[in-house]
Structure 1
């Protein structure tokens, strides 16, 4: 294949087929002979008008960022460099710029000109390794840094996951004011930290997590105040509970997450109703139970939205009335559309991904996300070869 460079365009070879379960039309947007995926599922990955989708594609051994024009069915190459953190790409609220990580730099790329500028550089002795969180007003970006000597080398799989947790690395949350370049060290501790996300409407409040295997983490969800450095645990956890893949509601009122526990079967084999505010795991024979949970940002009051199939990730629309999640068991290799008001879900299609790592442990995760029209859904799967980007519509 001819080498391409920043600004080059080429046609997409879109392939359409009927889903094997629902018959719904699925469109494969990228070539399954080239590893590709979209950025992290709660990032802003579509342009404001919905015509453009940011993706990462590996070519000639390097992962770079591209903008797919869904109407013209062509791709525009945005970057041409090494060491890009390909899941980190995040469009600004006005859609004019793309923020991403390259090495220890956070870079702003202006889409109209394709010109780059470095907005923050991790200092010597530290490494930036996680996806930065961009505030809803586009003025702040939060990132997590780890002391370089505490960072364990990984082949991109899960083998090092528990070892990195056990190392108790020195980590810190950094908040950068983009208009001025002012930097604030918000919080620092000897714990593996991740997923920094400024609160919509209140970017001084940053959601972050204690990262690591679910059976090792003391409590997943935390809030840090950039003004005074105060931290707050959003939800203490009991043995057997797991919380993951959290994100802010669009209005900043609450945090949503996947909640799991081993729930015992009730009398006569019927399943007991799970209330995450009061239920604690027991030692009897059990089965996996899962909830979509909402936690108030101020009072920390919990609202179980609905029981769900075993999603690995889920994301909601802006009104928090609809959600899409990816089933992660071999018995349920599906995307699900959930109505959060009616507490119902339907199978959208089979994603049929293997969940295998191809250099990073997220490469083939579906990470479903809504198109701005809230009808279309984008996801990643390696069903046809290497991970590729697909799009379908919800019921």
Structure 2
């Protein structure tokens, strides 16, 4: 029987913007929402999947957004997985979630908690983030030749040896794993560092993956793959100006968004959108640098800023041929010291709130900030006030 815990939710108003912010977790251990490209809100509109270190484990939990209660979905030792749940992915049409436990991809029934093994990563390869097709029939992932010993890097440490892995061009594969059993198949392989396999939320045949590495050195960050035909194509060839990364699907499942940095000036940042076939590419410089960006449509983008810009959640609204100056939603103040402590802002499906993670109070906790109906009621960004100890 799964553990159900009472609500830990507290609600406050941001002291600068007045926006309503709900802190959903409060425990001595890190809690975080899923990676920002994954939709953690279930179809009932009230159940949000998160990860939390509590009760001696590193598990997936659900939060009831109506009453705040938390329900344990998996049971594993904090040391058993070897991965954070940023790699986990829910099934969009059935009550399951997929995760890594060691070298195995597991399917976990969200109602019963019963798990079953789907696939084992072959020896000599390193695991990566999971995706799930729009029809719910297949789990997707990429694996890359494990060069950690040769390159003297520690597996799972973000950005360690980033350039070395890129230049080494490890053998990498995009893998499809049937959720109802059966052999996995290799959809694509090449000697390049591949990652971030993202499935279109509406088109079961469409997948993106990325060429990993320093953004300004990759010839094309975002690539498309058609599962039906096997066709692979570059979506965003590098233009020599905007170094692209942190890509995601828009809600229509046909267009893709991203965030980019200027190759010659890392204080200049962009957001962009493109059709899945590479057509109708558009890119806009924004007025505040940001580490991540997310959007449901090209009309509203949320970002998490940077340390130098003040660690705010930022909102950019489409205005004419570009975007209006950034509005401050709330201060997240997270340290970014590790992946769990990245804010990873994600617009909820209705576009009325943002889920994010922050360790401003010590441990990482999960939050939701409500977006006011009138964005002009929010203050515009201003340079951050810094103190001598920061």
Q: Distance in 2 between matches of 1:179 and 1:341?
A: 46
Match of 2:279 in 1: 300
Q: 1:111 to 1:172 in 2, by over 3 A?
A: same
Match of 1:134 in 2: 132
**Cα offset, 1:201, TM superposition:** 4.5
CA offsets 1:297-319 (integer angstroms, 9 cap, x no match): 225331225635222222222x5
Give TM-score, length-normalised by structure 1.
0.83
**Secondary structure at the counterpart of residue 163 of structure 2:** helix
**Secondary structure at the counterpart of residue 114 of structure 1:** coil
Match of 1:203 in 2: 204
| Of 67, 74, 79, the match for 1:72 | 67
Structural mapping, 1:66-215, within 5 Å: 66-81=61-76, 82-83=80-81, 84-94=83-93, 96-128=95-127, 130-148=128-146, 152-154=153-155, 156-179=157-180, 181-215=182-216
| Of 299, 318, 335, the match for 1:354 | 335
Is 2:34 the partner of 1:33?
A: no
Gapped regions of structure 1 (runs ≥ 5): 1-5, 263-280
Match of 1:375 in 2: 352
Q: Distance in 2 between matches of 1:214 and 1:261?
A: 10
CA offsets 1:70-103 (integer angstroms, 9 cap, x no match): 2222111111122154112322223522222222
CA offsets 1:225-276 (integer angstroms, 9 cap, x no match): 33454422212214453101111223232211112215xxxxxxxxxxxxxx
Q: 1:225 to 1:77 in 2, by over 3 A?
A: same
**Secondary structure at the counterpart of residue 337 of structure 1:** strand
Q: 1:234 to 1:334 in 2, by over 3 A?
A: same
Count of residues paired in the alignment:
362
Structure that is richer in strand per residue: 1
**Secondary structure at the counterpart of residue 195 of structure 1:** strand
Give TM-score, length-normalised by structure 2.
0.84
Is residue 353–residue 364 contact of structure 1 (8 Å, CA) maintained in 2? yes
| Of 13, 17, 38, the match for 2:8 | 13
Q: Distance in 1 between matches of 2:146 and 2:159?
A: 20
**Cα offset, 1:68, TM superposition:** 1.1
**Secondary structure at the counterpart of residue 166 of structure 2:** helix
**Cα offset, 1:296, TM superposition:** 1.7
